[in-house]
Each structure stands twice: as structure tokens, then as C-alpha cells.
Chains A and B, each alone.
Chain A
Amino acid sequence: MIKVDPNLCIGCRSCSNVCPSQNILRSDSEGIRRILWKRCREECDLCVEFCPAKALTLVPFDESVSEPQLSFDLVSCRICGSRYAPEPMLSRIEAAVPPDSQRDPEGREWIRVCPACRLRAEAQRAAREGVSGRRGEALRRGK
């Protein structure tokens, strides 16, 4: 069965996706992601191998040990307010992206904006810069 280090797990979807026996249950509801690692007798260690945070280890089956369960508050998008990602995943992105690339042309910390709003912002930028003639003027006035 699986042992989880709650200090390392980032709340991503890797282990629940790769488990061939559906022993790892993940749900997103009401702004919270919950992950439950069911007690399993499998010898397979795909989840261990594919954990980006190295948070999982395979331990001998033991019925007396409770099933590990973690929950993560999903962070709210700074534009639309939708709950889109666990905090540890965003922190990990912030660690991977150079600090001088973490603000968009409007000065917003784009990592703290949900992907759907990032796409909308990119379309607005492209339209203001790329459209010529009267439509373009109207777009730039509307900024």
C-alpha cells in the first residue's frame, strides 16, 4: 500500500491518473481538491514512480493503518474568482519560472490567474496591438 508525505504532496493529478486499479480517488468540489489513497495490495508502483514531488512510497500492506487522505483549498483566480489550482502546484510553478517573467504586460502575476482568463487577456492584447483601422482605434480606446 501507499504512504504519503503530506509535506511533499502538491495535490496534482498524476497518481490518480496513472493508477491502473483506480485505487487513488481525486475529486474537486466546492473549491477543495480531495485525494484518497485506498489501501491496496498491488505490487505495482506506478504512482510512486510518476509522482512529481516524490511524496509517495510503497509500504507493506497493513489493515490497521488508516487510508491516507489529503485535501487542498483551490486558489481563486485573481480575475474571475474561479477556484483553479492547489497552492503547492502554483508555488512549484513560481519556483520554475524566472522571477522577471512572472508578470504579464499589465503587471499582473499571471501564475495567480486561471488559464481561461490568461487566454482572454492574451486575446485582448493581441487585438489591441494587431487590429488596424477604425476597429483597432475603438479597441485601444476601450483599454
Chain B
Amino acid sequence: MTVYVDINRCIGCRSCEVACQRVHGGSGHVRVSFVEGLASVPIFCHHCEEAFCAAACFSGALHKEGDRTAFDVDKCTGCGLCALACPFGVVWTEKIAHKCDLCWGRTEPACVATCPANALSTDGEPPSRQSQVRAGRAGASGCLR
């Protein structure tokens, strides 16, 4: 699974940050950055194919699992190497490391489910079309979701 961002749709409301914090016990893994007062951009882990955070991790806590850069909290010592190895500044170490886990175990990442502007999606379809499909499905099943 990949989370796609349509920057043209982002309204900078930071709902994604809040949703991420809510499902991850207060430590959010997405930051909305504001660029020159003209654009807002949610930035989070790219789950790099060649993940330098995982290469730098000596304990095996950060590792590749298919397309995902996964994190095993039990193995992390909070040394801080991963945070210094991420080219995008989206791995943080407080007491231990934390980063986007694509909301593993949930049907959809909380940021995607929450974004009121449809700027985030998991299928990379233009969100307007995607919302049409959703609306169609909701209509067909008789529920408004």
C-alpha cells in the first residue's frame, strides 16, 4: 500500500497530523509543512525501496517487509541513527524511534480516511473520481459513509 498526496488539494488543515496522533498514542508521523505561504504539503515516510534508515539500524528494528519499511518496537533502543539516516526528516527518535507504519492492521491509514480535502489516497486515482466511486458504493449499499 502507498499513500499518494495531491498537493493541489491540500488545504493545510492538519487533520492528517491529528488523525495520525490519535491512532499512534500521541506521536504523529506526518508533518504538514507550509511553503512560502503558497502551498501546504503533508510530509511522511516514503517507504523508500532502498531504505537508509533500515540500513543504519543496527538492531533490526527498522526493516523492509515487502514495500513497507516496518518497525519492530521491541527491538528499538532509541539510539537515534535512523533519524540521522532519513534524507527527508520523517523518522523521529524520542525515547524510541517512530515513523509512518501505514497504519498496519487498519483497513485504511487514518490520515487518508480523515483528509477532508481528498488530498490523500491509497490508490493514486484522482480523488474526485475516487470520491464518486465511494459515493456510488455507499448509495448501492444503502448507507451514507
Contacts and interface: CB of A to CB of B under 8 A. Distances in A.
A96 B56 contact: yes
Interface string B62-94: 000000000000000111110111111111110
Contact of A139 (B33, B36, B93): B36
A95 to B, nearest CB: 9
Interface of B: 5-8, 31, 33-36, 38-39, 41, 43, 50, 52, 55-56, 58-59, 77-81, 83-93, 95-96
Nearest to B83: A115
B52 to A, nearest CB: 5
Contact of A92 (B31, B78, B81, B95): B81
Contacts of B59: 50, 52
Nearest to A46: B77
B77 A133 contact: no
Interface of A: 12-14, 17-18, 50, 52, 85, 89-90, 92-93, 96-98, 101, 104, 110-111, 114-120, 122-124, 126-127, 130-133, 135, 138-139, 142
Contact of B7 (A13, A85, A119, A126): A126
Contact of B87 (A14, A89, A98, A110): A110
B8 A89 contact: no
Contacts of A126: 5, 7, 41, 43
Q: Which 9 A-B pairs have the closest CB atoms?
A: A123-B33, A119-B89, A115-B89, A118-B89, A14-B79, A130-B7, A52-B58, A127-B39, A127-B35
